């Protein structure tokens, strides 16, 4: 590879029209003329598309004909074509790092109105680049070692699949999950859209594959607290929260749960979205992975006061319970980090007009997911708080979405899971199902086909923005929400 | 606290009780209210339907008069409130409307800069006077009252300047502060029928009936409104509605009348005798 001469810089300058993207705003001919007079510039041209083959050949030919040792291209963002032009320089026999790119598209023509000011700005950017490129020294490309291990943050279906794919490729993976078990939201679901496939049948084998994979180190009930280092070589600190159980010894037999001094389940069960109760020591759900119980330090009498008769200790024949377990910080080195931290649902109490939290039979979608799940708190029965089966169910879409006061964007999933739940509710109860929506957005493979057959069996109605839940009605006819109409401009009256 | 006051036609006619109670309440709470000198129609009646431009010009004049007085402009009628707001919006957004307004005002040597703020008394009483001050002034808490707060459409659509657009709550908070029970009233921003009551009576009355029937079903003892047309529609046709659909009897009062009662003001001074369906005496003297 030819090195630039140590003496005088011989610079080739090129300004790109980018069709009308740049030339429609910036006077490119004037920029080329201006650059021609700058110190060290030997050749200065404007060209319609510098990134095209003829454009690149222009650079290569000029390098040879004019003995250029530096090249400047004023065009688009380096993210798009820096590599293109460096390669062109290299093909012309120049060290690729003796090239400097000037962004006069994203930084100039696209953000300014046509006129002299935009041209002047382009000239200023070009002047700086020409001065700078004279100072460039040739660089050599080196290969350096990156750490082969991978950290995956989040043990939901995305993190699980990522970990398995990488581990099957032969790399070591650390899978870190905040909750006591992996599985994430999908573990709560009964069916998936748009095929009504069995969610557990997809997820559970993957969960156990993660737990037993020789290349995967699974740390549940743990959180990443610090990341140091640089691309390819990170140092990560992971805090392992105490679950007060030896993970190696516990087999999840749950004898401690039976023996707990609390005979009744008394504490809110997070996994069941508050629809059920659990004890201070619990297994989140039967297929929890790892199958290890966890103690809730805010509920367990021993952990709170140290004054419990600890019947759980006696019940555990493997001596796995460690009440004085401390949090532990692990430090690991990885080359790559995958974030698969999932989502939180919207807090529906922020929109009190829909009655969540104040009216007894208003549920969130995740609560209904638990209710329709055969292993959920109601064994798959959809029921009202008083135990009756509902005769009519309304599903309100877009809560917290597409609204200037909450999230302005579409969640992109609520149409589909609402349709899925509508289908399951219909199947489980035979109830009339009403969907209140703003628009139906079903833009995925098989989604429209899933939506298509539904309206024949179900009532889809455009959702009224000003809607409000009126509470439970006694007569069924009145329980039908009224057909909705979009808000119109109010006629003025006096 | 001083405001220019734009009554509009309703508060001098069918909505007299609103004016009486509003002025009485303002006096009691130390809010000074000066009626705008030589005000004219807000254009909300037929103007807006026939010629919007003419409607905006009518409002511009009222706004210019208010600017001359340099106080904020109190507009208790929801229709006036909305027409004034709408006019301000159009003048600010559309130079052609602004130019027309400037020309029209020049004929009377008036000018409008856009700085006058149009306020609704619900906003002023709850947010400016404030619930703590009102609570302090309460002489007769509204014990036993079960109020359905009905906001109507015009203070929440399309502009919602001082309350939640989908779920307004200022009246709810006010009545709770006055010691009344507030029933959960999901129809609080549904249509009362508006001027349909005058043109397609049955259609308009049907809409009013839905509101009253719901309030009755929820155990309300009265409906409180912030708008003279709502009050008129809901109060005036209950006999017809009862004949047509199902029996309904529900006193419909202005929020200022309830506030006045709580402040211990005289029933007559609050115009309560003007209600077609009277507020039961035992409640008034509770």
State the DSSP string of A224-282.
Answer: EEEEEEETTEEEEEEEE---SB-TTT-----HHHHHSS--S--EE-TTTTTSSEE-SEE
Same domain for A31 and A127? yes
Cα separations in angstroms, B148 against B185, B268, B271: 6, 23, 20
What share of residues in chain B are helix, strand, coil (percent, to 5)? 50, 10, 40
Q: For B30-77, where are the alpha helices, taking DSSP H only? A: 47-50, 52-69
Residue A246 covered by a domain: no
Same domain for A62 and A123? yes
- Single residue among A285, A306, A339 that ends a domain in this structure: A339
CB proximity list for A368: less than 8 A, separation 6 or greater: A382, A421, A425
Q: Give residue for tokens 């929440």.
A: B156
Contact A472, B217 (CB under 8 A): no
Q: Which of the four pLDDT bands, split at 50, 70 and 90, describes residue B101?
A: very high
CB proximity list for A306: less than 8 A, separation 6 or greater: none
**Closest to A421 measured CA to CA, from A439, A433, A438:** A433
**Closest to A406 measured CA to CA, from B164, B128, B225:** B164
Sign of CA dihedral A164, A166, A167, A170: positive
Residue A143 covered by a domain: no
Name the residue among B8, B167, B186 with its Cβ closest to that of A494.
Answer: B8
Angle, alpha carbons A275-A349-A420 (nearest 5°):
60
- Scan residues 190-219 of B and list those with Cβ closer than 8 Å to A: 190, 194-195, 214
Same domain for A77 and A155? no
**In the numeric block, which tokens belong to residue A48?**
């319609």
Contact A285, A187 (CB under 8 A): yes
Q: Measure the CA–CA gap between A113 and A109, rounded to whole angstroms.
A: 7
Asked if B44 and A353 come within 8 Å (Cβ–Cβ), the reply is no
**For residue A385, what are the domain limits?**
348-479
- Single residue among A133, A166, A186 that ends a domain in this structure: A133
Same domain for A194 and A333? yes
Q: Give residue for tokens 């490729």.
A: A169
Return the residue in A465, A473, A484, A493 with the most chain B beta carbons within 10 A, the one to mutate for interface testing.
A493
Mean of pLDDT values over B232-245: 96
Q: Which of the four pLDDT bands, split at 50, 70 and 90, describes residue B45?
A: confident
Number of other CB atoms surrounding residue A357 within 10 Å: 12
Q: Measure the CA–CA gap between A266 and A283, rounded to whole angstroms.
A: 15
Phi first, then psi, for residue B85 (nearest 5°) are: -60, -45
Is B53 a residue whose pLDDT tops 80? yes
pLDDT at position B79 is 95
- A435 beta partners: A395, A460
CB proximity list for B223: less than 8 A, separation 6 or greater: B147, B148, B150, B211, B212, B215, B234, B250, B251, B252, B253
Q: Measure the CA–CA gap between A469 and A490, rounded to whole angstroms.
A: 23
pLDDT at position B245 is 96
Asked if B195 and A491 come within 8 Å (Cβ–Cβ), the reply is yes
Asked if B44 and A494 come within 8 Å (Cβ–Cβ), the reply is yes
Asked if B82 and A490 come within 8 Å (Cβ–Cβ), the reply is yes
Q: Which residues in chain B are contacts of A477 at CB distance < 8 A? A: none
Same domain for A236 and A288? no
**Number of domains observed in the structure of chain A:** 4
Q: Measure the CA–CA gap between B87 and B93, rounded to whole angstroms.
A: 10
Q: Which residues in chain A are contacts of B52 at CB distance < 8 A? A: none
pLDDT at position B47 is 85
Report the predicted TM-score, pTM, of the whole model to 2 decimal places.
Answer: 0.78
Is B75 a residue whose pLDDT tops 60? yes
Q: Measure the CA–CA gap between B12 and B20, rounded to whole angstroms.
A: 10
b/e map A106-118, b = 16+ CB within 10 Å: eebbeeeeeeeeb
Q: Measure the CA–CA gap between B267 and B143, rounded to whole angstroms.
A: 16
- B149 beta partners: B224
Residue A138 covered by a domain: no
Q: Which of the four pLDDT bands, split at 50, 70 and 90, describes residue B166?
A: confident
Q: Measure the CA–CA gap between B197 and B195, rounded to whole angstroms.
A: 5
Number of other CB atoms surrounding residue B160 within 10 Å: 14
Q: Quick check: B116 contacting A, CB < 8 Å?
A: no
Same domain for A121 and A21? yes
Name the residue among A353, A465, A492 with its Cβ closest to that of B44.
Answer: A492
Same domain for A334 and A233? yes
**In the numeric block, which tokens belong to residue B250?**
């529900």
Q: Measure the CA–CA gap between B254 and B63, rounded to whole angstroms.
A: 25
Q: Distance (Å) from the C-alpha of residue A353 to the closest C-alpha of chain B?
A: 6
Q: Distance (Å) from the C-alpha of residue B131 to the closest C-alpha of chain A?
A: 21
Query: Closest chain A residue to B85 measured between Cα atoms?
Result: A492
pLDDT at position A438 is 86
Is B225 a residue whose pLDDT tops 50? yes
Count of A–B CB contacts within 8 Å? Answer: 66
pLDDT at position A369 is 96
Same domain for A105 and A49? yes
**CA atoms within a 13 Å half-sphere pointing along the CA-CB vector of B64:** 22
Q: Give residue for tokens 């943050």.
A: A153
Q: Measure the CA–CA gap between A17 and A383, rounded to whole angstroms.
A: 66
Q: Distance (Å) from the C-alpha of residue A467 to the closest C-alpha of chain B?
A: 7
Q: Which of the four pLDDT bands, split at 50, 70 and 90, describes residue B97?
A: very high
Same domain for A359 and A335? no
CATH code (residue A167): 3.50.50.60
Q: Measure the CA–CA gap between A183 and A289, rounded to whole angstroms.
A: 8
Same domain for A465 and A354? yes
Residue A70 covered by a domain: yes
Residue A52 covered by a domain: yes
pLDDT at position A462 is 56
pLDDT at position A190 is 95
Cα separations in angstroms, A46 against A18, A81, A408: 10, 17, 44
Q: Quick check: B167 contacting A, CB < 8 Å?
A: yes
CATH code (residue A438): 3.50.50
The burial of A233, by beta-carbon neighbours within 10 Å (0-12 exposed, 13-18 middle, 19 or more buried), is given as middle
pLDDT at position A454 is 64
Question: Please, what are the averages of pLDDT over each run of 10 residues along chain A (494 residues)?
Answer: 64 97 97 97 97 97 96 97 97 97 97 95 98 95 94 98 98 98 96 94 97 97 97 96 96 95 95 95 95 96 94 95 96 97 93 89 95 93 94 91 89 93 91 87 90 64 53 39 36 32
Q: Give residue for tokens 């929890």.
A: A288
Asked if B186 and A469 come within 8 Å (Cβ–Cβ), the reply is yes
Residue A21 covered by a domain: yes
Residue A493 covered by a domain: no
Residue A488 covered by a domain: no
**In the numeric block, which tokens belong to residue B74?**
């109190």
CB proximity list for B146: less than 8 A, separation 6 or greater: B180, B181, B182, B183, B219, B220, B221, B222
A407 torsion bin: left (phi>0), alpha (psi -120 to 50), beta (else):
beta
**In the numeric block, which tokens belong to residue B201?**
């009576």
Same domain for A301 and A185? no
pLDDT at position B203 is 95
- Scan residues 401-460 of A and list those with Cβ closer than 8 Å to B: 405
- A337 beta partners: A151
Same domain for A364 and A302? no
């Amino acid at each position: 590879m030819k090195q630039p001469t140590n003496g005088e810089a011989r610079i080739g300058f090129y300004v790109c029209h980018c069709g009308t993207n740049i030339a429609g705003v910036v006077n490119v001919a004037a920029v080329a003329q201006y650059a021609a007079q700058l110190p060290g510039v030997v050749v200065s041209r404007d060209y319609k598309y510098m990134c095209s083959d003829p454009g690149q050949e222009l650079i290569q030919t000029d390098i040879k004909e004019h003995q250029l040792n530096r090249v400047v291209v004023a065009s688009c963002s380096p993210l798009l074509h820096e590599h293109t032009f460096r390669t062109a320089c290299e093909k012309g026999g120049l060290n690729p790092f003796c090239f400097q790119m000037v962004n006069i598209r994203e930084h100039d023509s696209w953000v300014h109105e046509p006129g002299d000011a935009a041209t002047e700005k382009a000239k200023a950017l070009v002047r700086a680049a020409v001065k700078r490129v004279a100072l460039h020294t040739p660089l050599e490309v080196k290969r350096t070692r990156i750490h082969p291990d991978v950290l995956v943050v989040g043990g939901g279906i995305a993190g699980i699949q990522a970990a398995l794919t990488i581990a099957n490729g032969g790399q070591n993976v650390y899978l870190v999950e905040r909750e006591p078990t992996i599985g994430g939201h999908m573990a709560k679901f009964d069916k998936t859209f748009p095929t009504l496939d069995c969610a557990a049948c997809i997820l559970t084998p993957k969960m156990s594959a993660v737990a037993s994979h020789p290349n995967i180190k699974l740390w549940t009930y743990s959180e990443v607290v610090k990341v140091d280092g640089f691309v390819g070589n990170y140092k990560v600190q992971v805090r392992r929260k105490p679950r007060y159980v030896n993970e190696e010894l516990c087999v999840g037999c749950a004898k401690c749960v039976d023996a707990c001094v609390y005979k009744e389940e008394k504490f809110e069960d997070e996994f069941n979205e508050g629809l059920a109760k659990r004890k201070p020591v619990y297994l989140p759900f039967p297929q929890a992975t790892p199958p290890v119980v966890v103690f809730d330090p805010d509920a367990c009498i021993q952990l709170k006061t140290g004054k419990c008769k600890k019947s759980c200790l006696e019940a555990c024949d493997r001596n796995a319970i460690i009440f004085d377990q401390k949090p532990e910080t692990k430090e690991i080195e990885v080359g790559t980090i995958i974030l698969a931290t999932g989502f939180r649902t919207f807090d529906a109490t922020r929109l009190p007009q829909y009655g969540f939290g104040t009216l007894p039979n208003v549920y969130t979608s995740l609560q209904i997911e638990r209710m329709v799940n055969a292993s959920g708190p109601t064994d798959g029965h959809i029921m009202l708080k008083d135990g009756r089966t509902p005769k009519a169910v309304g599903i309100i879409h877009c809560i917290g979405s597409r609204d200037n006061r909450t999230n302005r964007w579409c969640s992109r999933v609520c149409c589909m899971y609402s349709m899925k739940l509508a289908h399951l509710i219909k199947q489980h109860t035979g109830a009339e199902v009403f969907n209140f929506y703003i628009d139906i957005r079903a833009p995925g493979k098989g989604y429209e086909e899933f939506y298509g057959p539904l309206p024949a069996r179900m009532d889809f109605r455009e959702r009224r923005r000003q809607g409000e839940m009126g509470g439970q009605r006694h007569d069924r006819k009145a329980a039908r929400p009224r057909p909705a109409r979009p808000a119109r401009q109010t006629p003025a009256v006096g | 606290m001083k405001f220019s006051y734009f009554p509009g036609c309703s508060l001098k006619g069918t909505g007299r009780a609103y004016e009486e109670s509003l002025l009485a309440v303002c006096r009691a709470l130390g809010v000074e209210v000066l009626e705008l000198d030589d005000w004219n129609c807000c254009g909300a009646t037929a103007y807006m339907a026939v010629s919007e431009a003419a409607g905006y010009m009518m409002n511009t004049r009222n706004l210019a008069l208010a600017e001359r007085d340099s106080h904020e402009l109190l507009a208790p009628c929801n229709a006036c409130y909305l027409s004034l707001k709408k006019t301000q919006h159009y003048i600010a957004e559309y130079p052609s409307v602004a130019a027309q307004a400037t020309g029209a005002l020049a004929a009377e040597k008036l000018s409008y800069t856009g700085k006058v703020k149009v306020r609704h008394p619900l906003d002023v009483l709850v947010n400016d006077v404030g619930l703590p001050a009102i609570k302090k002034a309460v002489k007769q808490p509204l014990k036993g009252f079960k109020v359905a707060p009905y906001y109507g459409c015009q203070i929440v659509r399309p502009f919602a300047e001082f309350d939640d657009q989908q779920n307004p709550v200022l009246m709810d908070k006010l009545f709770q502060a006055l010691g009344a029970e507030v029933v959960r009233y999901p129809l609080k921003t549904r249509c009362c029928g508006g001027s349909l009551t005058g043109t397609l009576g049955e259609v308009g009355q049907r809409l009013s009936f839905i509101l009253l029937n719901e309030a009755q079903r929820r155990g309300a003892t009265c409906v409180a409104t912030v708008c003279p047309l709502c009050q008129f529609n809901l109060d005036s046709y209950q006999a017809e509605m009862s004949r047509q659909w199902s029996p309904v009897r529900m006193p419909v009062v202005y929020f200022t009348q309830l506030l006045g009662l709580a402040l211990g003001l005289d029933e007559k001074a609050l115009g309560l005798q003007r209600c077609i369906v009277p507020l039961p005496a035992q409640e008034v003297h509770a």
